[in-house]
Amino acid sequence: MYQDHYGLTDRPFQLTPDPRFWFESATHRKAMAYLGYGLAQGEGFIVITGDIGAGKTTLVAHLMATIDPQRLTAVRMASTQADGDQLVGLAAQAFGIASGEQGKAVLLDRIERHLLDQARSGRRTLLIVDEAQTLSPGALEELRMLSNFQSGGESLLQIFLLGQPEFRELLQGSDRLEQLRQRVIATHHLDPMTANEVGPYILHRLAQVGWAGNPDFETSAYDAFYRHSGGVPRKLNQIAGRVLLAAAVDGRSTIDAALVDSVAAEMDGDANRPRIAAGSDVEPRLRSASVTPLRAEPAQDARLNAIEARQDELEASLRRVLGLLIDWVESDTPFSRADRSRHNAA
């Protein structure tokens, strides 16, 4: 793996959200500012939207790592295409309340009691709902009703909604959601990173895993990273991880635009290559047929040739060693002088 080649302690461009790698781009800094303002109000809805891979889940991971659990209990609920009644059951499960076969009225009573217990312990409750664009208007209306729970004039529950851009359109365009819109106290849309943020982003993630300057990056490489990723964090992570792997295979100590362009082209080719469904009648015919390999690009040719040459050397050495072992096993006496000469030659 490339992290071993470059002496890194972990994968810097893993796709799994990790608060260690939080990078405060301009758009994420604004999002955290709106989150801070919203949480300070202690009521209503906070809405954050963004395209796929924009960093919404990473934002949540960073929030969860920074809040004080003695003052705020934050629970997450991954939404599905649920109707209103199902939404209440999902919320109960998120709070650790067994839903079972209980009816909606019973679950609402148990949720309210749970929120009251949290308030008596001096903790506010935040419900984080991911993939909010999958919720029906009826389910969103149930969330609004949950946010109405109060004690002593103070709201017992605050709700943080994350979704893709279509959720923002649903929220703004549905007459049925007018009351919910009036309860939204902070909203922000996560934009891609700008071109001048890509370099600092890459170096920041590398620094978290012990990067000591190897490999180095030419300025043109950052421009290429931005060109192929559009500044979307997940896309950038995918390309950067593959570029480091290719650089390690080639034994490079410097990454330039040409390498980034080459790897991005390979990834585009992989994405556009037709896929054969497992179990189809084409699959067994391909396995049994003699297929002529596809012609690789020049950069790939050199790499494949080097790998094949190394494999040939290893196979030849293995055959020589096996031959010696067979001779030794079949012989009734220790190695003869001829055996030793042949062994030394091997």
Q: What is the pLDDT of residue 310?
A: 56
Residues 183, 37: one domain? yes
Residues 99, 9: one domain? no
Question: Which residues, in sequence order, are CB contacts of 75 under 8 Å at separation 6+?
Answer: 94, 95, 96, 125, 126, 127, 128
Q: With respect to residue 292, please indicate whether it lies within any of the assigned structural domains.
A: no
Q: Domain boundary residue among 238, 272, 306?
A: 272
Query: How many domains would you assign to the chain?
Result: 3
Q: What is the pLDDT of residue 100?
A: 72
Question: Which residues, in sequence order, are CB contacts of 151 under 8 Å at separation 6+?
Answer: 116, 119
Q: Domain boundary residue among 144, 165, 190?
A: 190
59: CATH: 3.40.50.300
Q: What is the pLDDT of residue 291?
A: 38
Parent domain of 258: 2-16+193-272
H-run or E-run covering 226: helix 219-229
Q: pLDDT tens, 66-107?
A: 999 999 999 998 766 777 778 888 899 999 998 777 788 999
Q: pLDDT tens, 40-60?
A: 999 999 999 999 999 999 999
Residues 149, 56: one domain? yes
Residues 185, 85: one domain? yes
Residues 178, 225: one domain? no
Residues of the chain with pLDDT under 70: 79-80, 271-346
Residues 56, 45: one domain? yes
Residues 148, 210: one domain? no
Q: With respect to residue 259, please indicate whether it lies within any of the assigned structural domains.
A: yes
Q: With respect to residue 210, please indicate whether it lies within any of the assigned structural domains.
A: yes
Residues 208, 166: one domain? no
Residues 182, 204: one domain? no
Q: How many helices (H) and strands (E) does the chain have?
A: 15, 9
Which three-class secondary structure state does DSSP give residue 113?
A: helix
261: CATH: 1.10.8
Q: With respect to residue 207, please indicate whether it lies within any of the assigned structural domains.
A: yes
Q: With respect to residue 293, please indicate whether it lies within any of the assigned structural domains.
A: no
Q: With respect to residue 32, please indicate whether it lies within any of the assigned structural domains.
A: yes
Cα separation, 150 vs 157, whole angstroms: 8
Residues 167, 85: one domain? yes
Which residue type is seen at 99? S
Residues 139, 40: one domain? yes
196-197-198-199 Cα dihedral, nearest 10 degrees: 80
Q: What is the pLDDT of residue 98?
A: 81
Q: With respect to residue 281, please indicate whether it lies within any of the assigned structural domains.
A: no
Q: With respect to residue 285, please indicate whether it lies within any of the assigned structural domains.
A: no
Which residue type is seen at 35? L
Q: What is the pTM of this model?
A: 0.74
Q: Domain boundary residue among 190, 208, 226?
A: 190
Residues 177, 61: one domain? yes
Cα separation, 53 vs 233, whole angstroms: 6
